[in-house]
Each structure stands twice: as structure tokens, then as C-alpha cells.
Amino acid sequence: MPLPGFRQKFFDFRAGAPSEPALASQALRAIFGVRSGKANRLSDKRMARASVCIAEEMMDTLSKIERSERMSLVRAKNTKPERLVRSVIRALGYRFTTHDRSLPGNPDFVFRTQRKVIFVHGCFWHRHACFNGVRLPKSRREFWEDKLQGNLRRDRRNHRLINKQGWRYMTIWECKMKHSADLVRRITRFLESS
């Protein structure tokens, strides 16, 4: 199966070539369409960085079985952040249900008498604006971009639907749970507001 764009050129060039710096720079010049000459020659450092980026983009360090095992450990319910928020809400004395399927997005915590819900989101999976939310895995970038953007679209749609049904929601991000006093204050303010 042919690879798209510059990947195909890279693999065609690398097919029988030893991994020497001179050959690598020739390959990268061919890939990026750079001709020889002082004016448009890429520096060796830039060439090395580009070759590392290309190699990282194309390979996964785990086998398919190892990747599958690792991904199966990612939980959808009862994650560590959820358990932390649950303990805070219980300590505050509020009654709630968890993962109500009758509401859009299966909110993590549902307060029926107040018509309020709390979502506990992991920064990576739900694309928070923090460091963990904006970084992407190095392999299969297109797949991850599509998947994570789909998660973001689904979250926005669920928030709109919850508002339409007359519920109020709060999102607690994984990175914002480091300071327990702030977490307690935010939850209390949300649940006690009218």
C-alpha cells in the first residue's frame, strides 16, 4: 500500500540505504524539495530534527497486543479523579446518583432535586486547554486528532442538550483537582447557587 506524500519518498529512499548522516540529509532534501547550494541548504541540526520527527510520526514503540492491553486499562467510569470528587461531595453531605443514562452525556454526578450535574473530565480525552489537553500522541496523529475532536464535539452537544432540558452543569477538569480546598469551594458554590 503506498504511503501518502513525503512518507512514500522517505521509505523509497530508505529501502536499501544504510543509516548514514549524509544519506539521511540527502533523503530529507529530496523529501522537502531542497536543492543543494548555500542559500537554500538546511542545516545539519534542522535535518536531524526533521528526521527524528518523521521517524517518530511513523512508528509506534509498542506492538499491537501491547497497545491493546495498555488501552484496555483506560477506564470510562470510577476513575481516580471521579473517586476524589465523589469523596468531596459525600463529605459535603449531598445526595447524588452516578452515570445517569437518561441524561445526555451520562453525567458523572447527578443531583436530581437541584437539577444539576457534574462532569469530571480528563484533560487529554476531552481536550482541555492545559498542557495535557493540547498534546497528542506521536504515532497515528490523524486518528487521535479525529477521535479527540469528536469527543470535544460530543461534549459540546451534550452540554447544549442538558441546558435545553433545564439542567445546569459543571465541568471539573483533572488538572484543576490538585488543590482540594479550591475543589471544595467550587463544588459548594455550584451546588448552592440557584
Q: Is the pLDDT of residue 60 over 80?
A: no
Give buried/exposed letters for 88-124 (b at 16+ CB in 10 A, else e).
Answer: bbeeeebebeeebeebbbbbbbbbeebebbbbbbbbb
Q: Which residues contact 154 (CB under 8 A, 6 or more apart)?
A: 105
Q: What's the average model confidence in pLDDT over 77-104? A: 90
Gap between the Cα atoms of 165 and 188, Å rounded: 23
> CA torsion, points 9, 10, 16, 18, in degrees to nearest 10?
150
pLDDT > 70 fraction of the chain, expressed in percent and rounded = 65
Residues 84 and 125 in one domain: yes
Gap between the Cα atoms of 170 and 159, Å rounded: 9
Look at the block and give the residue holding cell 541540526: 45
Q: Is residue 66 part of a domain?
A: no
Q: Is the pLDDT of residue 20 over 70?
A: no
Residues 91 and 180 in one domain: yes
Other C-beta atoms lying within 10 Å of the C-beta of residue 83: 11
Q: Is residue 94 part of a domain?
A: yes
Q: Is the pLDDT of residue 156 over 90?
A: yes
H or E segment and range at residue 110: strand 109-111
Q: Which CATH number belongs to the domain containing residue 160 in this structure?
A: 3.40.960.10
Quick: pLDDT tens for 38-52. Answer: 444 555 555 555 544
- The number of folded domains in the chain is 2
Residues 52 and 88 in one domain: no
Q: Is residue 89 part of a domain?
A: yes
Residues 139 and 183 in one domain: yes
Residues 52 and 101 in one domain: no
Q: Is residue 185 part of a domain?
A: yes
Grade residue 115 by pLDDT with cuts at 50, 70 and 90. Answer: very high
Q: Is residue 11 part of a domain?
A: yes
pTM: 0.62
Q: Is residue 69 part of a domain?
A: no
Residues 33 and 98 in one domain: no
Grade residue 122 by pLDDT with cuts at 50, 70 and 90. Answer: confident
CA 186 to each of CA 100, 123, 146, 167, 176: distance values in angstroms, whole numbers, following the listed order: 22, 18, 32, 18, 10
Contact between 57 and 139 (Cβ < 8 Å): yes
Residues 98 and 53 in one domain: no
Residues 97 and 179 in one domain: yes
Residues 55 and 126 in one domain: no
Domain interval for residue 142: 80-192
Q: Which of 93, 71, 83, 52 is nearest to 177 (CA)?
A: 83
Beta-sheet pairing, 97-98 with 109-111? antiparallel
Quick: pLDDT tens for 158-187. Answer: 999 999 999 999 999 999 888 889 999 999
Q: Is the pLDDT of residue 17 over 70?
A: no
Q: Is residue 73 part of a domain?
A: no
Residues 145 and 95 in one domain: yes
Q: What's the average model confidence in pLDDT over 99-124? A: 92
H or E segment and range at residue 145: helix 141-164
Q: Is residue 67 part of a domain?
A: no
Q: Is the pLDDT of residue 140 over 90?
A: no
